[in-house]
Amino acid sequence: MTEWWKSAVIYQIYPRSFQDSNGDGVGDLKGIQSRLDDLKALGIDAIWISPIFPSPMADFGYDVADYCGIDPRFGSLEDFDALLAAAHERGIKLLLDLVPNHTSDQHPWFLESRSARDDPRRDWYIWRDPKPDGSPPNNWISDFGGSAWEWDEATGQYYYHAFLKDQPDLNWRNPAVRKAMLDVLRFWFARGIDGFRIDVLWHMVKHIDLPDNPANDEWAPGQADYTRVHQLHSTDQPEVHDIAHEMRVIADEYGARVLIGEIYLPVPKLVGYYGTVERPGVHLPFNFQLIGAAWNARSLAKMIADYEGALPVDGWPNWVLGNHDRPRIATRVGAEQARVAMMLLLTLRGTPTLYYGDEIGMADVSIPAHQVQDPRELNEPGIGMGRDPVRTPMAWDASANAGFSPADPWLPLHPDWLERNVEAQRGDPASLWRLTQKLLFLRHEHPALALGDYHPIDAGGDLLAFERRLDHDRLLVVLNLGDTPQGFAIPEWAESFTVLASARGGHDPALLSPNEGYILG
């Protein structure tokens, strides 16, 4: 039997920005539940919800103070159980965002660890003495800028934090930490969730001796501070694969579950996180290549081929166009080409993840300085690392605040929300929402599109073409990634095919208009 997640389309929800049910300007669990029918109508198979655990919100939930509760801003455990049941009633799976690399500095574990050098939980985190001159133990740099070491005056040592100082890293070399965190997986699996997206999986183990990271000789002012060094010793250590395997064993104990690992690494290293047949790792190491790819047909064709060629025999591919950390696809390639990008995401072999709002073409929103919320932007302003622009509220209709909340939203809406909203696009046959719905329908209707093989087809110029095939089900996909018309020689085997979907409503796949794409079958 094929695992459900292989044919599924996963939809990422940033909960603060999806739907507010209580009028405080921040999204919540009851809000998500109220929109499940909208997601069902779109054709979504699974939702992944960014962190909803109790948190001081220094990094908006990625600083966890309790792994087995729900932050009151989002609701309660009872609200979560109701959401989970409602999703399952609609045939929608639910994944949570696990943040195992670090906790909040307000987590009881860290408060105990920080209380004294001889506290039983001292070694649950990474504490080290200063160098003789009082400086940090090594040259490691936080991903949010500045030293990754924070001095603790009371105990006379530094603690390590790969992100904010409010997010101390757990010491995964400590067996007690491992047991406590693996019990968190069991808690939520027993509650009925269908899987986890695992935050910064490749960060979780550090070199045991904590040596300096090598300097990056290509770094220049204006680039992110953490790129001044290569994270050779602070990330991607061999022992992390043992942790991934332990998590996989637990997931497998609960049956049809999935683990998705956030890993920003080159493909040869990325695919290592699948593990081996004997010691499997996560089911899906996130493949972020489309997010940073040069958007042209030839480079994309090579990227897809290289990725397919690098996958282990039993490794299932996956694709992502956007997420809560990176610029939206409509900003990167433009509103018209975003339609072609959606066709690409939903026709490639593998499990696609769709970021909320991309189905209506939401673009990055310019955030006035006085409304900036993201600590990354506040720490390193002006270098383009701020994430607020891609986390703005979802637009549902043309009512006040786009139907997101009766109150002023926590971040501003996109400026064209009166026209760019779900209700308006559901009523427009030519909209991106309707195109996305059509593509999701085709994935459910055609096994070749959901589970079939991928076969590239030679195409010149700005065209990207490929076949999806499973037994007798064959589909042809041809996409124009450029802004000029492109001729395409339809293969003989597809000459009798009809147009199943078009990015712009065209009818002639032998001559593609700019920013056009077709699925033939």
Strand partners, 10: 46, 353
Sequence-ordered list of residues with C-beta below 8 angstroms from that of 155, at least 6 positions apart, any chain: 114, 116, 117, 127
Angle at 401 between CA 399 and CA 404, to 5 degrees: 95
Task: Give me the sheet containing 517-520, strands edge to edge.
Answer: 453-457, 463-470, 473-480, 517-520, 499-502
For residues 149 and 236, what is the distance between their CA atoms, to the nearest angstrom? 19
Cβ neighbours of residue 403 closer than 8 Å, sequence gap 6 or more: 395, 396, 397, 421, 423
- Distance CA(219)–CA(231), nearest Å, equals 13
Q: Label each residue of 13-71 as H, E or C.
A: ECHHHCCCCCCCCCCCHHHHHHCHHHHHHHCCCEEEECCCCCCCCCCCCCCCCCCCCCC
φ, ψ for residue 251, nearest 5 deg: -60, -40
Give the residue numbers marked as catalytic: 199, 253
Q: What is the DSSP string of 355-391?
A: ETTGGGT----PPPGGG---HHHHHSTTSS---GGGS
Please state at what angle helix 240-253 crosses helix 175-191, rounded to 10 degrees.
30
CA nearest neighbour of 505 among 412, 408, 438: 438
**Cα–Cα nearest to 477, from 446, 432, 434:** 446
Query: Residues 220, 225, 230, CA angle at the centre, nearest 5°?
Result: 85
Which residue in 319, 338, 339, 343 sits closest to 328, CA to CA?
338
Q: How far is CA 366 from CA 324, 392, 414, in A?
A: 15, 10, 8
Please state, as a whole number, how many other Cβ atoms lie within 10 Å of the Cβ of residue 294.
8
Q: Are 92 and 440 in contact (CB under 8 A)?
A: no
**Which of 78, 80, 2 is closest to 47 using CA atoms?**
80
Number of other CB atoms surrounding residue 182 within 10 Å: 16
